[in-house]
Amino acid sequence: MRVLILGAAGFVGRNMLNGLKDSDLELTSSDIIDLESATQHSKLDITSLDDTKKVMENVDVVVHLAVHSLTASFKDILMNAKVNIIGTLNILEAARLSNVRKLIFTSASSIIGKVNYSPVDEGHPCTPKTPYAITKLAAEHYLPIYQDLYGINYVVIRFFNIYGPYQNEGLIPILHKRLTLKQAIDVYGSGSQIRDYVFIKDVVPFFYKAIKNDLIKNVLVNMGTGKGVSVTELISIASKILGVKPVINNLPSRKGEIDNYVADTKQLQSVFGNVPSTTLEEGLKETFRWLSTT
């Protein structure tokens, strides 16, 4: 089975390549930047339909991780839409023309916007509060349309707060840096905001199952643990691991930030038979070991 990983140079992509390299899959990869450590890697800008078509020839399954990020979306909304919406449509068109069997797409829990209830299930209403979240929601809607029209099967894996090695931006890398340098940690709002943190190495086996199992198709699942941890608790656990007393800098809440929520994992359990299980403390220890070497 020939599998193409798009966005392979990113945080999730690198973990995917490492986690699947010894599997029975024939992996190819692409990204807008070169990745010297990967074999069968090609440089690709997904906003070019012609280039996307070439990369996806003779591919059975596509893992779509290519993305213009949340933080970048605030600086360039047009580029965010171009990459995340037009780029995704280019991938779908190329998949249609190449007779790709299945496309696995990573979405984001931030599409929920206003949280009406928690745990948040896959049917929760979506009211996106950021340009990035809008693009992810749009892509989610295009997938079933392409399935209906052209028979391209899909799996949407909606990430909650993924963390781990190769992640260079986001709350946990910032937290590690501030604690190790004994700098103040910015806490927006009360610090009681609850999030669902998922260790990236727990995620890879779900992608393998989605790739290999033909019965897993045309479904959306939350990729979460179902367990909530507040920002204050996260800082406390991280500080204990590093043996540092944190200094907190309290700031007003940020625009577009979602209220307290965790993933409802019943659908994930039903489709895949299990849920991520690494504890936050175990995951942070491994993540911090990696961050300390970079």
Helices and strands (DSSP H and E) totals, the chain:
11, 13
Q: Which residues share a beta bridge with 263?
A: 120
Q: How confident is the model at residue 257 (pLDDT cuts 50, 70, 90)?
A: low
Q: Would you give the end-to-end CA distance of the chain in angstroms?
A: 34
pLDDT over 90 (residue 12): yes
pLDDT over 80 (residue 36): no
CA dihedral 170, 176, 179, 183 (to 10 degrees): -40
Lowest mean pLDDT among 71-75, 135-139, 275-279, 283-287: 71-75
| 53 within a domain of the structure (yes/no) | yes
| 268 within a domain of the structure (yes/no) | no
Structure tokens given for 121:
């299930």
Averaged over 263-268, what is the pLDDT? 98
pLDDT over 70 (residue 256): no
Separation between Cα atoms, residue 34 and residue 235, nearest integer Å: 35
> pTM of the full predicted structure?
0.94
| 37 within a domain of the structure (yes/no) | yes
**Which domain does 155 fall in, by range?**
2-164+198-224
Task: Check if the beta carbon of residue 294 is closer than 8 Å to that of residue 167.
Answer: no
| 22 within a domain of the structure (yes/no) | yes
CATH label of the domain that carries residue 102: 3.40.50.720
Q: What are phi and psi of 206, to 5 degrees?
A: -70, -40
Percentage of the chain lying above the pLDDT 70 cut: 97
The pLDDT, as a whole number, for residue 203 is 98
Lowest mean pLDDT among 28-37, 195-204, 247-256: 247-256
In this predicted model, what pLDDT tens digit does every residue of 97-131 receive, in sequence order?
999 999 999 999 999 999 999 999 999 999 999 99
The pLDDT, as a whole number, for residue 259 is 67
Distance of CA 118 to the CA centre of its chain: 20
The total number of structural domains in the chain stands at: 1
| 85 within a domain of the structure (yes/no) | yes
| 91 within a domain of the structure (yes/no) | yes
